[in-house]
Amino acid sequence: MENQKVRVRFAPSPTGPLHIGGVRTALYNYLFAKKHGGDFILRIEDTDSQRFVAGAEEYIIDAFNWLGIQFDEGVDYTTNKATIRQSERKPIYKQYVDQLLTEGLAYIAFDTPAELDAKRAEIANFQYDASIRSLMRNSLTLPKETVNTLISEGNQYVVRIKIEPGHDIIVNDLIRGEVKINSSILDDKVLFKSADQLPTYHMANIVDDHLMEISHVIRGEEWLPSAPLHVLLYRYLGWESTMPKFAHLPLLLKPDGNGKLSKRDGDRLGFPVFPLQWTEKDGNISTGYREAGYLPDAVVNFLALLGWNSGTEQEIFSMQELIEIFSLDRCSKSGAKFDFEKGKWFNHKYIQQKSNEEIAALFAPILIENGVTVSTEKTIQIVGMVKERVNFVKELWAQSSFFFVAPTTYEEKTVQKRWKAETPAQLIELIDVLNEISDVTPHATEEIVKAWIAEKEYHLGNIMNAFRLAIVGESKGPHMFDITAIIGKEETIARLKYAIETIK
Partner RNA sequence: GGCCCAUUCGUCUAUCGGUUAGGACGCCAGGUUUUCAUCCUGGAAAGAGGAGUUCGACUCUCCUAUGGGCUACCA
Catalytic positions: 263
Residues 6+ apart with CB under 8 A from 46: 13, 14, 52, 85, 86, 87
Q: Which of 62, 72, 129, 221: binder of RNA (CB under 7 A)? A: 221
| Interface with RNA, residue 87, by CB under 7 A | no
Number of chain positions touching RNA (CB under 7 A)? 81
Considering only 21, 38, 250, 473, the residue that binds RNA (CB under 7 A) is 250
Single out the residue of 156, 279, 318, 370 in contact with RNA (rule: CB under 7 A): 156
Closest CA to 324 of 336, 312, 333: 312
Using the rule CB under 7 A, is 361 a contact of RNA?
A: no
Beta strand 7-10 pairing with 39-42: parallel
- If binding is defined by CB under 7 A, does position 50 make contact with RNA? yes
Query: Rule CB under 7 A: is residue 143 a binding residue for RNA?
Result: no
- Per CB under 7 A, does 35 bind RNA? no
Q: How far apart are the first and last CA of the chain?
A: 83
| Region near RNA per CB under 7 A, out of 43-51, 267-275, 285-293, 422-430 | 43-51
CA angle 421, 422, 425 (to 5 degrees): 125
| Minimum CB distance to RNA smaller for 283 or for 457 | 457
* 93 binding RNA? (CB under 7 A): no
List, in order, residues 6 or more apart from 412 with CB less than 8 Å away: none
Measured torsion, CA atoms of residues 101, 102, 103, 108, in degrees rounded to the nearest 10 = 30
Indicate which single residue of 337, 394, 489, 497 sits in contact with RNA (rule: CB under 7 A). 337
Q: Which is nearer to RNA, 187 or 267 (CB)?
A: 187
Instruction: Tell me how far, at minimum, the Cβ of 373 lies from RNA, in Å.
Output: 25
Residue type at position 104: G
Q: Does 412 bind RNA (CB under 7 A)?
A: no
- Judged by CB under 7 A, which stretch of 72-80, 373-381, 476-484, 490-498 contacts RNA? 476-484
The helix-helix angle for 356-369 and 395-404 (nearest 10°) equals 70
Nearer to RNA, 4 or 200 (CB): 200
CB of 367 to RNA, least distance (A): 20
- The radius of gyration of the chain's CA atoms, rounded to the nearest angstrom, is 32
Among candidate residues 335, 497, 481, the one with its CA nearest the CA of residue 406: 497
Indicate whether 206 belongs to the interface with RNA (CB under 7 A).
no
Q: Are strands 198-199 and 190-193 parallel, antiparallel or unpaired?
A: antiparallel
d(CA 261, CA 5): 34
Q: Restricting to residues 274-313, which ones interact with RNA according to CB under 7 A? A: 305-307, 309, 311, 313
User: Which one of residues 92, 181, 366, 406 is an interface residue with RNA (CB under 7 A)?
Assistant: 181
Whole-number minimum distance, CB 78 to RNA, in Å?
26
Q: Which region holds residue 477: left if phi is over 0, alpha if psi is between -120 and 50, else beta?
A: left
Task: Compute the least distance from the CB of residue 364 to RNA, in Å.
Answer: 22
Residue closer to RNA, measured from CB, 185 or 428: 185
C-alpha closest to that of 162 among 139, 146, 145: 139
Under a CB-based contact definition with an 8 Å cutoff, are residues 231 and 169 in contact?
A: yes
- Quick check: 74 binds RNA (CB under 7 A)? no
Q: Is residue 345 involved in binding RNA (CB under 7 A)? A: yes
By CB under 7 A, tell whether 442 contacts RNA: no
Question: Which of 253, 319, 367, 415 is close enough to bind RNA by CB under 7 A?
Answer: 253
Q: Which is nearer to RNA, 285 or 405 (CB)?
A: 405
263 binds RNA (CB under 7 A): no
The interface region with RNA, picked from 1-9, 27-35, 179-187, 489-497 by CB under 7 A, is 179-187
If binding is defined by CB under 7 A, does position 11 make contact with RNA? yes
Q: Please state, in angstroms and rounded to a whole number, the distance separating the CA atoms of residues 189 and 294.
A: 42
Q: Cα separation of 393 and 183, whole Å?
A: 54
Give the list of residues 6+ apart from residue 319 with CB closer than 8 angstroms, or none: 68, 297, 300
> Is 7 or 387 the residue whose CB approaches RNA more closely?
387
Q: Which stretch binds RNA (CB under 7 A): 33-41, 283-291, 369-377, 475-483?
A: 475-483
Task: Assess 91 for contact with RNA (CB under 7 A).
Answer: no
If one asks whether residue 249 binds RNA (CB under 7 A), the answer comes out as no
Contacts of RNA in 448-467 (CB under 7 A): 460-461, 463-465
Decide if residue 197 touches RNA (CB under 7 A): no
| Phi, psi for residue 345 in degrees, rounded to 5 | -60, -40
The reply on whether position 176 binds RNA by CB under 7 A is yes
The binder of RNA chosen from 185, 211, 428, 454 (CB under 7 A): 185
The residue (of 75 and 306) whose beta carbon lies closer to RNA is: 306
Distance CA 361, CA 366 (A): 10
468 touches 410 (CB < 8 A) = no
Q: Which among 116, 213, 208 has a CA at the least distance from the CA of 157?
A: 116
Residue 316 CA to residue 322 CA, distance in Å, equals 9
What CA–CA distance (Å, rounded) separates 140 from 106? 10
Minimum distance, C-beta of residue 279 to RNA, in the bound complex (Å):
22
Q: Quick one: which of 91, 113, 143, 154 contacts RNA (CB under 7 A)?
A: 113
